[in-house]
Amino acid sequence: MTLPALTAEQRAASLEKAAQVRKDRAALKAKIKANEIGLKEVLDRADTDDLVGKMRVIHLIESLPGRGRQGALTLMEKLQIADNKKVRGLGIRQREQLLAALTD
């Protein structure tokens, strides 16, 4: 599969859009870290908000207060969630199990 040829303007617009998405995702992670947004709210937004839906589950768990990469990987393995899974791709049971495990 070859990539389509882009004009300089299209390429610049794509790069700008990608940079903005990264900034928005970093801001979302900061809000999660600061407990401004709860895990349930994030999971509820996953089906309608591309910013949340396209985020990897590992990054979501890592952005929770007191969670690190190794703990996130261990939890995902326990819940049988693939390490490359995106939030929108979680099934109903996986979301419920994740909420139960992360809300004390």
Domain positions in the chain: 13-102
Q: How far apart are CA 71 and CA 5, in angstroms?
A: 42
pLDDT of residue 97: 95
Q: The dihedral of CA 92, 54, 68, 40: what is its sign?
A: negative
3-state secondary structure of 86: strand
CATH of 13-102, one of 3.65.10.10, 1.10.8.50, 3.40.50.300, 3.40.50.1950: 1.10.8.50
Where do we find the tokens 């490359």?
Answer: 84
The model carries a pTM of 0.85
Contact 38, 64 (CB under 8 A): no
Give per-residue pLDDT as tens, 11-64.
999 999 999 999 999 999 999 999 999 999 999 999 999 999 999 999 999 999
